[in-house]
Structure 1
Amino acid sequence: MKKDNITLPPSDAPSSPPSKVAQPGLRANWRQFTLLIIVNAFVGGMVGLERSIVPLLGQHAFGLASTTAVLSFILSFGIVKALANLFAGRLSDRIGRKGVLISGWLIGLPVPLLIIFAPSWGWIIVANLLLGINQGLCWSTTVIMKIDLVGPARRGLAMGLNEAAGYGAVSLSTIVAGYLAATYTLRPQPFLPGIAFALAGLLLSLTLVRESHDYARQEATLLAQATRHTDMGAQQTTNSSADQLSFKDIFLLTSWKNQTLFGVSQAGLVNNMNDGLAWGLFPLFFAAGGLDITHIGLLAGIYPGVWGIAQLVTGALSDRLGRKGMIVGGMMLQGIAIGLLPLVHGFGWWSVTMVLLGLGTALVYPTLLAAISDVAHPQWRASSVGVYRLWRDNGYVIGALLAGILADLLGVTWAIGVIGGVTFLSGVLAQVVMSETLPHR
């Protein structure tokens, strides 16, 4: 792996871009930024409907006995979402952002209907294939567009707001779905809100969302000017322009060659590995512990709820304190929280572990995206974000397989303990390989 020497524009780079089309900054673009937050909340709401219901649906409605079989819907979701992230990033660099966003919503429209009318578990798998594409295209694109709009100074804050909206909606949607399932049945009522989410997201994206690719082009122009003026061209080209890097180069840099980007990618993968565990196995674990579906829905919602709300603070905090320490500490806290889960019992104690897990994830999630944005050149940043999100969401695949196999062979407690240990070790690895990416540090 290549040691990092990250090239970033100086603080006195030109503040007035020559084009009136692209004026970066949160204040200058607050209307579009707010609109994209709302759109991303609908994206999160789509996936939140599944988090407390679908594992139970597999056992009770379709009679699945194997934990691995129950978690197969996460496996299908994770594979296609990871690939959709990769293509979303590359297509956003090639053809623009808005078309990718609209395509994601069109693909997501049938998802709630497929789940509502599914006559067999195979239909649930197909629905989650489409949901994975929807999540990959839409969530990736809203991330990229917010990075475009906000400029380099407030990336941590921007990612915190984005992820807070998305996972806040995941939490509320999870709790609502659990309530509807407890009040009515597992189908169709918990999935009816998904129809409204998909239609609202599509209409907003078609009518009000504007293309943001010009902001990235403008930032690339300013970076090139700053590089020439300060004679930084001789340094290592982590921030090389897109003209000099093929997609293969970008993939290898983000995945392995650049130590910091490797550290970010592995942490993202392990983070979503334990999120796949939480999504697929925690409801079964809590049900085996004697909780009813209402309390299972609350526990399933506490974790993304704390995760979402806390990102309002952690994203902005990473702009002040730096990225690396928060990533390392967040991964270790997640590992500890997961490891505690089998050691305690009851709704109260399990609520505490879910709060800790949410806090640990909040430290990590927006900070990883901000670190990618710090390192990657604006012209290939969307592609790099796509590669990172490819690795991150492959964590769902690995998590579902590992949790299912371990649970079937050794029991749920072992599955939870092993993934908790892997998560803690991911924080140790990040400490070893990463460099600080925040420009002024």
Structure 2
Amino acid sequence: MLPAGGGEAKGDGVAESTARSRKLGVLSRLRSKYDANSTLFWVCALIFVNQLGFGGIVPVVPLYSESFGVSKTAIGLAIAIYGLARFLLNVPSGQMADRLGRRMTLAIGGGVTVAGNIICAVAPEYWLFLSGRFIAGCGAAMVLTGTQVIIADISVPANRGRMMATYMGFFLFAVGIGPLPGGLLAEFVSLSAPFYTFAALAVGTTIVAWFRIPETRSWRSESAQATASKAPAKVSFRQQLSLLTARRGFALISLVSFTQFFARTGALFTLIPGLADAKLGLSTGRIGAGLAMANLMAMFVTYPSGALTDRFGRKAVIVPSTVFSGLALCLFALAGNYAWFLVACVVWSLASGVSAAAPTAYAADMAPPGMNAPAMSMYRMLADFGYVVGPLLLGSTADFVSTEAALYATAAMVVAAGAAFALLAPETYRRAVAAGDD
């Protein structure tokens, strides 16, 4: 019996050793991947925490504004002013990223976001709430511009779609899941609770920015190094912006993103929660749950869409997803019950997930060497103009015509922008062609 027992013990030892080796191998591979992508990892962690707080207030802002006894136009203003701050601060944030550094820009943005949301939470009247929204929007401009500049810094055209997709996957997942806890906090605690939560999460983004994000201002991608001799010797920030806006592709992708932001803030954030409440009789919690559950689906298509963007080109992803965004808006207008409301949410989230990375990758592709900060800041500014005017125009349309009419008009505008991009914009990258595979 002793020899048999010894054999079993030896066999167990070999099995344990093999299992330990496999575990160490997995940990080693994970560590290797982390070391190779640590900057991307922490940027994604930062944007996840930041946008989780933002998503939490999405279903609450219209209702919190309404609690002050204001009109639909004023409710739209409460959403639009956040975008106005982003619109005004995007380009200065790009300048800040070039002068002070990406990390400093992110840290300052996190601190400003904390202050803005605290003001919103304690505001005793509408105008102070509006001021808090503006301040929070200034912080958002610094955080969003800074993170996208970093992604542009660390990526090359061949992997930019996937890197942007990874970033946008965390972004959309956080925005998508945020309405669920935000709606529940508003329903069972108070309408101000989501703003306190956003402020607390913004403290986390500030800490991550300062202690975990490396400075990438001096980093230069291989493509930038290869073409550095072709770049202008010394061009002012304003001249760089002029060079970018003169490029047809850059102008058209900014138009597409303008309509997407117009639809997201004007329709999804401003009109649809109110329509679901008035027409379908849904509670804040059910609206938040519907938006959150549907938007989770975006996470599962974002990275595959980034791979498609790197394989088949940016336009092959941007154009179809834009058309489906318009379809989703029509479905929201037609929804007669909670089931159809969820269907509309799913179509919107899938379209958003598919198109999450491609437009930003396209804009970064259009940037000449050394112009990542002006390219990303100008792109965000033009897109955020839609954030500003969408809630105001659609809120007024809903007041004077109908909510459904506003949604149909927005759908037509989104599809028209996609068609213009399809017909007139040049393709910036396609791996198969670049590698001579076709």
What is the TM-score of this pair, normalised by structure 2? 0.86
Residue of structure 1 in register with 2:198 after alignment? 194
Q: 1:308 to 1:249 in 2, by over 3 A?
A: farther
Q: Distance in 1 between matches of 2:356 and 2:232?
A: 26
Alignment of 1:161-172 (within 5 A): 161-172=166-177
Match of 1:278 among 243, 268, 278: 268
Q: Distance in 2 between matches of 1:242 and 1:345?
A: 57
Q: Distance in 2 between matches of 1:47 and 1:27?
A: 27
> 1:315-346, CA deviations, whole angstroms, 9 ceiling, x for partnerless residues?
22211121012111111110111012222211
Give the percent of matched residue pairs that are identical in Structure 1 and Structure 2.
23
Match of 1:147 among 141, 147, 152: 152
Q: Which amino acid aligns with 2:104?
A: G
Residue of structure 2 in register with 1:19 after alignment? none
Residue of structure 2 in register with 1:258 after alignment? 247
Asked if 2 retains the 8 angstrom alpha-carbon contact of 1:51 and 1:300, the reply is no
Structure 1: segments with no counterpart, 5+ residues = 1-24, 226-239
Alignment of 1:61-210 (within 5 A): 61-64=67-70, 66-188=71-193, 190-210=194-214
Q: Which amino acid aligns with 1:62?
A: F
Match of 1:220 among 217, 224, 236: 224
How far residue 245 of structure 1 moved from its aligned partner, in angstroms, is 4.1
How far residue 309 of structure 1 moved from its aligned partner, in angstroms, is 4.1
How far residue 381 of structure 1 moved from its aligned partner, in angstroms, is 1.9
Q: Distance in 2 between matches of 1:45 and 1:83?
A: 23
Q: Bigger CA drift: 338-347 or 88-97?
A: 88-97
Residue of structure 2 in register with 1:241 after alignment? 231
The structure richer in helix per residue is 2
* 1:377 matched to 2:384: no
Structure 2: segments with no counterpart, 5+ residues = 1-31, 434-438
Asked if 2 retains the 8 angstrom alpha-carbon contact of 1:32 and 1:209, the reply is yes
Q: Distance in 1 between matches of 2:310 and 2:135?
A: 35
Residue of structure 1 in register with 2:285 after alignment? 294
Q: Distance in 1 between matches of 2:294 and 2:377?
A: 25
Q: Which amino acid aligns with 1:48?
A: G
Q: Which amino acid aligns with 1:261?
A: F
How far residue 426 of structure 1 moved from its aligned partner, in angstroms, is 0.9
What is the TM-score of this pair, normalised by structure 1? 0.86
**Structure showing greater Rg:** 2
How far residue 27 of structure 1 moved from its aligned partner, in angstroms, is 6.9
Residue of structure 2 in register with 1:211 after alignment? 215
Match of 2:297 among 303, 306, 309: 306
Please identify runs of 4+ aligned residues in structure 1 that moved more than 6 A. none
Q: Distance in 1 between matches of 2:95 and 2:299?
A: 27
Q: Bigger CA drift: 179-188 or 244-253?
A: 244-253
Q: Which has the higher contact order (CA 8 A, sep 6+)?
A: 1
Asked if 2 retains the 8 angstrom alpha-carbon contact of 1:42 and 1:201, the reply is yes
Residue of structure 1 in register with 2:65 after alignment? 58
How far residue 126 of structure 1 moved from its aligned partner, in angstroms, is 1.2
Q: Distance in 1 between matches of 2:359 and 2:33?
A: 20
Q: Distance in 2 between matches of 1:218 and 1:153?
A: 11
Q: Distance in 1 between matches of 2:409 and 2:294?
A: 19
Q: Which amino acid aligns with 1:63?
A: G
Residue of structure 1 in register with 2:378 after alignment? 387
Q: Which amino acid aligns with 1:181?
A: A
* 1:341 matched to 2:332: yes
Match of 1:322 among 297, 308, 313: 313
Asked if 2 retains the 8 angstrom alpha-carbon contact of 1:89 and 1:386, the reply is yes
Q: Distance in 1 between matches of 2:79 and 2:282?
A: 23
How far residue 147 of structure 1 moved from its aligned partner, in angstroms, is 2.2
Q: Which amino acid aligns with 2:153?
A: D
